[in-house]
Structure 1
Amino acid sequence: MTTQNFAPARPRRWTLENELWTLWLLFIGVHALYGWVASWHPSVPFNDVTGVYRGWVESAIATGSFPGVHEPFVYPVGALGPMLLTNLIGPGEAYGLAWMIIVIVLDCIALWWLTMRQNTNVSAGMRRTAAWWWLAFLVLLGPIALGRIDTLTVPIVLIALLEIRSRVRTSGFWLTIGAWFKVWPAAAFAGAFAVIERRWKLVQGALIGCVVVLLPVMVFNGTDGLRNAFSFVTGQTGRGLQLESAAASVFLVFKSLGNSDYEVRFDYDILTQQISGPGVDLVGDLLTPLMFVMVLILLALGFWWHRKGAGMARVFPALLLALVTSFIVFNKVGSPQFMTWLAPIIVLGLVWDGRRFAPLAWISLVIAGLTQYIYPWFYWTVVGAAPIGAFALFIRNALLVVLLVAAVLYMRPLKAERVTKAVGGSATEPASSVDDADASSEEGTVAS
């Protein structure tokens, strides 16, 4: 009688298919988890959606006066579109659920674009790495990553940036549409304009995007509608220094250490916590012009260093990150949802210039985790100026400054690039990521 040897079953290898299934299930699961958390959390992280956005839409339908069309609006008028669409999908009590459906669909389209659309070319590995980073960023940032109009701009900007080397006009169009939802994608458009050679195609896309948004406004309310569509530009100029802003966090630390000259108060007109006290108004008045000056300086540096030899794969993601972080650091507003702006920029940096961009990606994850700690879980420690809350906010904002400085340094051409440019050759990138060869090969279609 023979005996049969039974060897233990060998574990299955971690295949590409397993990785993608895991990534997608976790990605959708995180959306579902934070949608559920938002439904009961006492800080109401979806209040802007279920309260403010829904209230605007219901009032507009009831009165026939639509914000951004018939009256001034705090957001660019394009933001009204997804708010109305949400009401169409799920009016009344279902508004929050309908919003989450739109968010999940848009984010899944962007994830498909990142992981599936070009999953066989040389950049596939870096794209999957960037997708895992995006998932980690969402986990760390928390419910606020899904519950604001900023959320909808993230997948739009992400896809536009991934396609900008080969579809300049289309990317210009979608960056403009994103800017008509929330202003910050205009920074990405400006960065692209500074370093891309085929600028006219970028502008063509922007003009088409503006026509798509503004033509219906003029149809419904003529030139008055056009004036209301741009009312967001000056609509919040009189606001104070918001508590979570980078500048305010310094004054909040003073208060947490016992300085009674500073006071935290809630502004019922714009529904935000603000800080007041000695020097606060002066700093608030200086921030907006400082922001514009900083943006101009960054655009000039990006343009100059690209001309001096910094390749597109090196200078473009770093320039965008510098512009976006300057929008956050030099801003009187410091809402936690602003951190979502980092996501598409870091994803682009990881895909185009992975190894060099990795430290910035890690810093961004720490920023995201601190932001979730601050809001929604321990917001009371910030509003109450408790030292643990005040210092958490200060460290988060200090890391944003670090990110800004690092991004500027990353824009500079390497010595080898400067030498190559000086002798009349074409600037080439060192193999800093799997995608560098792909970036360099396609760069000629868009950049120098």
Structure 2
Amino acid sequence: MNRLRVTPGPVLTLTASWLTTRALMLWLVTHSTDRLLGGGSVTREVWRLYFHWYGVLTHGSFPAHDTLWQYPPGAGVVLLAPGLLPWLTYFQAFVLLTLAVDALTAAALVRAGTRPGRSLLGAALWTGGLPLLLHLPLARYDVQVTALAVLSLLASARSPRAGGVLGALGALVKVWPALVLLGVPRGRPARSAWAWAACTGATCLALLAACFAHPFSFLRGQGGRGVQLESLGGTALNLARHAGWPGRARYRYGAMELVGPHVHAVAAASLALTALAFGLLVLWRVRARHWSEATPYDAALSAVLLFTVTSRVISPQYLIWLIGMAAVCLTSRHTVQRPVAALVLAAAALSTVAYPLCYHEVIAGTWPGCLLMLARNGLLTAGAVLSLVRLWRSAPPPAEKIAPMAEPPGDPNRLPNKAPIPS
């Protein structure tokens, strides 16, 4: 059997790029107290909040009475993992494990990209795109969540069962990885992936409920969340402050949220848009009939983008999810999401300018802060719309396929066209 020979040059270049960029990210972690880098606000979440939750979890309970705890029970396993390296501080162990998962994700994308007919652009996007967020990815556990979603998508092509298991594990840590199963091809692959995901999720939930008290306490925190400053609704309200809206920003539920008149209406509108996005995705799933190897990847990016832009919360770390999903798309030469991936990268760069570099402007609602968030969210919105449109056109139902033009009926009294017979 002939195999496509892969030259080691591109892989070595990616490896060197990963080592260089991650060394720079680690350097930024060690200098995170610099005022330009947020004065320690980026890394504070690990050594203060995560470490506090770690102490609660080690006593066999989820943080039931902590309004900042808004994560599914699988997140507790991730936050307990640094305890496996007792010779390091919690912060050091967390960063080291996050870096290891980052490397695993890059290796999986390289492996997928070196297969026949595939591309290394996905690995390149992950390697070069993540540092656009500076040191933020190393100080949040979203890299671990994104790794499970990436591995689920890559595994589903060969084993829908493995894809379902990994997708369920990701959903137990943060709910959104369940969306990666949306594009699994119809028939047996979809039934297998969804069945294994359901069994895995139910089993793991039962185990966590048996080992820890209050496993569903996160639902209370999620229900109380308002409109975050960096969401689409938050951007609109922040702009409204210049037109006399009397609201203000306040730290609530682990983020800067806007409080004041009409905030509940904006939050309700966000939930309605999320429901509409889900309905459009379900409609696409029902109508689509043509699947390419890239369709599951493209559907995952489109779904995560739509749920991100319609959310009441668009934290900077959400860009890690989008970079991961875009990277998986670019491993296939058949993807229709290349322009969307470019918009995601541009949005990631603007997110860094907004947080941590100019976050004081965003909180104060100044014109530079408002315009910065308007540009970032405009890119994400444009990407979500473009992604759905391109996904829809790439897998049309049979009725939308253009049939080849038939020859017009000939005149029965007309002789067929033939070359003249020489006399």
Alignment of 1:338-417 (within 5 A): 338-353=318-333, 356-413=336-393
Contact map agreement 1:374 1:382 (CA 8 A) in 2? yes
Contact map agreement 2:149 2:170 (CA 8 A) in 1? yes
Work out whether 1:293 is the aligned partner of 2:276.
yes
- For residue 274 of structure 1, give the secondary structure of its aligned residue in structure 2: strand
Contact map agreement 2:117 2:333 (CA 8 A) in 1? no
Contact map agreement 1:53 1:83 (CA 8 A) in 2? yes
Work out whether 1:82 is the aligned partner of 2:68.
no
Match of 1:231 in 2: 217
Contact map agreement 2:148 2:170 (CA 8 A) in 1? yes
Work out whether 1:56 is the aligned partner of 2:53.
yes
Structure 1 length as normaliser, TM-score?
0.79
C-alpha displacement of 1:29: 3.0
Q: Quote the Cα distance in structure 2 between the aligned partners of 1:239 and 1:66.
A: 22
Q: Quote the Cα distance in structure 2 between the aligned partners of 1:381 and 1:347.
A: 31
Contact map agreement 2:302 2:391 (CA 8 A) in 1? no
Q: Quote the Cα distance in structure 2 between the aligned partners of 1:285 and 1:328.
A: 15
Contact map agreement 2:113 2:331 (CA 8 A) in 1? no
Match of 1:102 in 2: 97
Q: Quote the Cα distance in structure 2 between the aligned partners of 1:70 and 1:175.
A: 29
Q: Quote the Cα distance in structure 2 between the aligned partners of 1:207 and 1:302.
A: 19
Contact map agreement 2:183 2:285 (CA 8 A) in 1? no
- For residue 356 of structure 1, give the secondary structure of its aligned residue in structure 2: coil
Match of 1:111 in 2: 106
C-alpha displacement of 1:211: 4.5
C-alpha displacement of 1:353: 4.3
C-alpha displacement of 1:121: 2.0
- For residue 140 of structure 1, give the secondary structure of its aligned residue in structure 2: helix
Work out whether 1:154 is the aligned partner of 2:137.
no
Work out whether 1:145 is the aligned partner of 2:128.
no
Q: Quote the Cα distance in structure 1 between the aligned partners of 2:7 and 2:15.
A: 12
C-alpha displacement of 1:315: 3.9
C-alpha displacement of 1:374: 0.9
Q: Quote the Cα distance in structure 2 between the aligned partners of 1:273 and 1:317.
A: 33
RMSD: 2.9
C-alpha displacement of 1:406: 0.5
Correspondence for 1:263 among 237, 248, 259: 248
C-alpha displacement of 1:317: 3.0
Match of 2:13 in 1: 22
1:45-92 CA distance string (max 9 Å, x none)? 12222211111112343xx2421799995211111112111133147x
Match of 1:12 in 2: none
Structure 2 length as normaliser, TM-score?
0.84
C-alpha displacement of 1:202: 0.7
C-alpha displacement of 1:192: 3.1
The runs of 4+ residues in structure 1 deviating greater than 4 Å are 68-73, 193-197, 414-423
Q: Quote the Cα distance in structure 2 between the aligned partners of 1:404 and 1:420.
A: 22
Q: Quote the Cα distance in structure 2 between the aligned partners of 1:79 and 1:40.
A: 27
1:196 to 1:296, Cα distance in 2 relative to 1, 3 A: farther
Work out whether 1:47 is the aligned partner of 2:44.
yes
Q: Name the % identity.
A: 22
Per mean C-alpha deviation after superposition, the further-off stretch among 154-163 and 233-242 is: 233-242
Work out whether 1:135 is the aligned partner of 2:132.
no
Alignment of 1:172-251 (within 5 A): 172-189=164-181, 191-192=182-183, 195=186, 197-220=188-211, 225=213, 228-251=214-237
Structure 2 unaligned segments of length 5 or more: list them. Answer: 1-5, 33-38, 404-423
Aligned residues: 392
1:21 to 1:68, Cα distance in 2 relative to 1, 3 A: same
**Aligned residue identity for 1:367:** A
Contact map agreement 2:292 2:334 (CA 8 A) in 1? no
- For residue 266 of structure 1, give the secondary structure of its aligned residue in structure 2: strand
Match of 1:283 in 2: 266
Match of 2:156 in 1: 164
Q: Quote the Cα distance in structure 1 between the aligned partners of 2:95 and 2:217.
A: 28
Contact map agreement 1:69 1:77 (CA 8 A) in 2? no
Per mean C-alpha deviation after superposition, the further-off stretch among 82-91 and 106-115 is: 82-91
Contact map agreement 1:299 1:319 (CA 8 A) in 2? no
1:243-270 CA distance string (max 9 Å, x none)? 1111101111232x36352311222xx2
Structure 1 unaligned segments of length 5 or more: list them. Answer: 1-14, 424-448
Contact map agreement 2:106 2:127 (CA 8 A) in 1? no
Alignment of 1:1-12 (within 5 A): none
Contact map agreement 2:234 2:258 (CA 8 A) in 1? yes
Larger Rg: 2
1:39 to 1:158, Cα distance in 2 relative to 1, 3 A: same
Contact map agreement 1:38 1:44 (CA 8 A) in 2? no
Q: Quote the Cα distance in structure 1 between the aligned partners of 2:376 and 2:293.
A: 28
